[in-house]
A and B are shown apart, each in its own frame.
Chain A
């Protein structure tokens, strides 16, 4: 800016810069997007159509049946139950995780000695492998030599066969999910608490607010954007829970702990009912997308501090 170049020359220079930028961008991005299309873009697009076909068994020829699978989905109790269970289980896990995480974050926000240490030990479950830690839960829940049953026996109580009871199965799935999620929730809440402007607390103190007054009139309103963010992302994650179901109850007893994503896995990889698996996936995707879009609209309208609900960086593919 402000150079002595004649305007035409600057415009030309800007254009060549733009062309050069475009070329570099293309060279860098094109291969990345190509691979992204192979492992993510195309399968996802494929996923939107799979549910409209009758397709059982890998070597079967897919047969277009329109909404047949979806009609079957909503007429069949196995699927509607699984969907309903995903929703309330997800809601329950989200509520418990966020409440416990919020309490922990309030305490972590105090000037305690060793708060870094507390943050770490609370967060550790989140970085462990679901496969490995659910196996430890299975050792606790073993009928004959499980730790919990051994404790019960030592108090003279009858051992419980956890695997025979859907209620206990759900209970342990919830316990596991909260165990794994609470530290992460606490850390995000904590970041939110620390982002509240300290001047507001000083002003509230001058106005005579005590600890609870500050929480009620400064902290909670200041946390609104991050609260919505964490609720939405947690809910989106929790209604898709299935790994702990797979490894703790395996859907049993008699499919009474099946959630929708578990059902998709079961249809796809046990029964090779690819059409039904596709239809269920699409229903799950629509629910998640609707929640995300509603949130996105709300958050861009009301506050610019929040980001769109992106999932955490995931490894794997």
Chain B
């Protein structure tokens, strides 16, 4: 820190540093390439994209903002604005609940004393080892047989909550185990004397939770918010497996339906529309990442190693 700027600048030119710059920048550019391609391809007109020979750097002869405009104002081809709205609502909803459940449950496990606390927490963590794959088909069956919903006479007869907004909403208030784990870990580093001092000053439980402890947990809360938001934003599994109607699709699941997976066999794949939707997913995610990357880097280190 104390050394002069020119000295530290000169250090950048040892062979190992130059190698570092070259590799990190060069390979980094290769890693970014698919995204650069996507952003550039977004300027193509639909017809030009179909007829032109795609180059490594795709630069259209007649650039158009139509694809980008379609993301905000909607498009004739597809209900882009519906997908966008659904994605946004789901993301906001899941993020809100992830924050609330992780913080409250983290508080409970870090601060309250009750019988079986440690055992309960261990069981919770242990369930995280069970791969989510195991639950995909059973969840489908459960949603289809959901009691008294969607025309079900108790369990059968209708389609349950499949293909309804409940598919997205029902998981919200469920405990976010990873978030709880992170908040608990982080709260345990806050001295209990802080709570005790607040009690002496006459603060109630709610006040301790929200006015004293919460402000200290903002970095970890930011990490939970960002990862949940990105996870939900990019999630295609829930809509893809458990919904059907076009009104319920989100940006990622809308792509699956027009890509080679969902389109009818032999159909021409509408790549310009796919690119539009892809941009709609990727650009906001990248923006979120750039604004909050500090928290992501910190949080990743927290999930990896604990002191």
Q: Which residues of A contact B (CB under 8 A)?
A: 17-18, 21-22, 24-26, 28-29, 31-33, 35-36, 38-44, 46-48, 50, 58, 103-104, 107-108, 110-113, 115, 118-125, 127-133, 135-140, 145-147, 150-151, 179, 182-184, 187-188, 191-192, 195, 211, 225-226, 229-230, 236, 240, 243, 246-247, 250, 261, 264-265, 268-269, 274, 277-278, 281-282, 284-285, 288-289, 292-293, 305-317
Interface membership of chain B positions 99-139, coded 1 if the CB is closer than 8 angstroms to chain A and 0 otherwise = 00100110110001111010000000111111111111111
Contact of A315 among B17, B24, B228, B286 (CB under 8 A): B228
What residues of B have a CB within 8 angstroms of the CB of A307 in the complex?
303-306
Can you give 27 contacting A-B residue pairs, CB < 8 Å? A21-B114, A24-B108, A26-B114, A32-B105, A35-B175, A43-B138, A46-B135, A103-B23, A112-B17, A123-B297, A127-B230, A127-B285, A127-B288, A131-B255, A131-B256, A131-B281, A135-B275, A136-B278, A264-B136, A278-B137, A288-B129, A307-B303, A308-B126, A308-B128, A311-B128, A313-B231, A316-B94
In the assembled complex, the Cα of A132 lies from the Cα of B259 at a distance in Å of: 10
Check if B104 sits within 8 Å of A28, measured CB to CB: yes
Check if A121 sits within 8 Å of B231, measured CB to CB: no
Known: A28-B104, A131-B278. 19 other contacts (CB 8 A): A25-B112, A26-B114, A28-B108, A38-B170, A39-B174, A42-B138, A111-B8, A120-B293, A124-B31, A127-B289, A131-B252, A132-B252, A132-B282, A188-B301, A230-B304, A240-B133, A264-B136, A274-B141, A308-B126
In the assembled complex, the Cα of A43 lies from the Cα of B241 at a distance in Å of: 14
Contact of B137 among A28, A247, A274 (CB under 8 A): A274
What residues of B have a CB within 8 angstroms of the CB of A41 in the complex?
127
Closest to A107 in B: B20
Check if B56 sits within 8 Å of A281, measured CB to CB: no
Nearest 3 pairs of A and B residues by beta carbon:
A315-B231, A315-B232, A132-B278
In the assembled complex, the Cα of A122 lies from the Cα of B134 at a distance in Å of: 32
In the assembled complex, the Cα of A40 lies from the Cα of B253 at a distance in Å of: 21
In the assembled complex, the Cα of A317 lies from the Cα of B16 at a distance in Å of: 46
Check if B24 sits within 8 Å of A108, measured CB to CB: yes
What residues of A have a CB within 8 angstroms of the CB of B230 in the complex?
127, 315
What residues of B have a CB within 8 angstroms of the CB of A150 in the complex?
53-55
Check if B304 sits within 8 Å of A192, measured CB to CB: yes
What residues of A have a CB within 8 angstroms of the CB of B17 in the complex?
110, 112
Chain B nearest Cβ from A63, distance in angstroms? 15
Check if A44 sits within 8 Å of B130, measured CB to CB: yes
Closest to A23 in B: B114
Closest to A273 in B: B137
Check if A312 sits within 8 Å of B178, measured CB to CB: yes
Chain A nearest Cβ from B148, distance in angstroms? 14
Counting CB contacts under 8 A, is B290 at the interface? yes
Counting CB contacts under 8 A, is B205 at the interface? yes
Check if B305 sits within 8 Å of A306, measured CB to CB: yes
Chain B nearest Cβ from A226, distance in angstroms? 6
In the assembled complex, the Cα of A121 lies from the Cα of B305 at a distance in Å of: 23
Chain A nearest Cβ from B214, distance in angstroms? 15
What residues of A have a CB within 8 angstroms of the CB of B281 in the complex?
128-129, 131-132
Check if B255 sits within 8 Å of A135, measured CB to CB: yes
Contact of B227 among A187, A277, A313 (CB under 8 A): A313
Check if A317 sits within 8 Å of B171, measured CB to CB: yes
Counting CB contacts under 8 A, is B152 at the interface? no
Give the tally of cross-chain contacts (CB within 8 A): 338
Check if A135 sits within 8 Å of B259, measured CB to CB: yes
In the assembled complex, the Cα of A313 lies from the Cα of B98 at a distance in Å of: 10
Interface residues of B in 156-205 (CB under 8 A from A): 170-179, 181, 205
What residues of A have a CB within 8 angstroms of the CB of B126 in the complex?
308
Check if B112 sits within 8 Å of A188, measured CB to CB: no
Counting CB contacts under 8 A, is B155 at the interface? no
Check if B297 sits within 8 Å of A187, measured CB to CB: yes
What residues of A have a CB within 8 angstroms of the CB of B229 in the complex?
315
What residues of A have a CB within 8 angstroms of the CB of B231 in the complex?
313-316
What residues of B have a CB within 8 angstroms of the CB of A127 in the complex?
230, 234, 285-286, 288-289
Counting CB contacts under 8 A, is B41 at the interface? yes
Chain A nearest Cβ from B276, distance in angstroms? 11
Closest to A179 in B: B31
Contact of B174 among A22, A35, A120, A277 (CB under 8 A): A35
Check if A265 sits within 8 Å of B136, measured CB to CB: yes
What residues of A have a CB within 8 angstroms of the CB of B55 in the complex?
147, 150
Of B56, B205, B227, B260, most buried by chain A (CB within 10 Å of CB) is B260
Counting CB contacts under 8 A, is B295 at the interface? no
What residues of A have a CB within 8 angstroms of the CB of B218 in the complex?
none
What residues of A have a CB within 8 angstroms of the CB of B224 in the complex?
313
Check if B178 sits within 8 Å of A28, measured CB to CB: no
CB within 8 Å for A316 and B235 given contacts A125-B31, A285-B133 = yes
Chain B nearest Cβ from A305, distance in angstroms? 6
Contact of B133 among A147, A192, A281, A308 (CB under 8 A): A281
CB within 8 Å for A312 and B303 given contacts A21-B113, A44-B138, A46-B138 = yes
Check if A250 sits within 8 Å of B261, measured CB to CB: yes
Check if A40 sits within 8 Å of B174, measured CB to CB: yes
In the assembled complex, the Cα of A44 lies from the Cα of B255 at a distance in Å of: 28
Contact of A36 among B132, B174, B179 (CB under 8 A): B174
